[in-house]
Amino acid sequence: MTKVLVLNGPNLGRLGSRQPDVYGATTYAQLAEHLVETGRGLGLDVEVRQSDSEGEFIGWLHEAADLDADVVINAGAWTHYSHAIGDAAALVPRYVEVHISNVHAREEFRHTSVLSARAAGIIVGCGVGGYDLALAHLAATPR
């Protein structure tokens, strides 16, 4: 099965209790379990991770590059300013950028992304279902 890493940045481990009006009621644990199932149905070996540490997250992007694995990235707030994350993402073979909320309908600082220019696709504002869409896209368009 094709390996895909789903990498989540800061505060996404709080899904379910963090601003449910913005991010929904699904908990991070529920989302992670669901995405492994979704992946299995698509023939993907999905591994879901979350970190509040930028260095750890960069290490995971390096790991994806070494594994030649596609990545689904929700880098949370790092999306908007971390060029270190953007540079590390540039090393992976292919990635889809996901945001649960519609970042373009929110504060100005959320309109900028260090990831979008190199993304194979960008999914925003579709709730946690955006991750399923990203996996479906990767499964439907093998490299």
- Binding footprint of ligand DQA on the chain (CB under 6 A): 11, 74, 76-77, 79, 99-101, 103, 110
Cβ(54)–Cβ(13) below 8 Å? no
The distance of closest approach from Cβ of residue 63 to ligand DQA in the complex, given in angstroms and rounded to an integer, is: 21
Cβ(50)–Cβ(76) below 8 Å? no
Find, among 139, 2, 1, 129, the residue nearest to 74 by Cα: 129
The distance of closest approach from Cβ of residue 61 to ligand DQA in the complex, given in angstroms and rounded to an integer, is: 16
To which H or E segment does residue 2 belong? strand 2-8
Nearer to ligand DQA, 28 or 64 (CB): 28
Cβ(98)–Cβ(123) below 8 Å? yes
CA distance 81 to 20: 24
Concerning whether 99 is annotated as a catalytic residue, the answer is yes
Concerning whether 28 is annotated as a catalytic residue, the answer is no
Measured in degrees and rounded to the nearest 5, phi and psi for residue 88 equal -70, -40
Nearer to ligand DQA, 100 or 134 (CB): 100
Q: Which of 62, 80, 95, 99 is catalytic?
A: 99
Nearer to ligand DQA, 96 or 103 (CB): 103
The distance of closest approach from Cβ of residue 43 to ligand DQA in the complex, given in angstroms and rounded to an integer, is: 26
Find, among 126, 124, 108, the residue nearest to 116 by Cα: 124
The distance of closest approach from Cβ of residue 101 to ligand DQA in the complex, given in angstroms and rounded to an integer, is: 3
Nearer to ligand DQA, 2 or 127 (CB): 127
Q: Which of 23, 28, 95, 131 is catalytic?
A: 23
Q: State the catalytic residues.
A: 23, 99
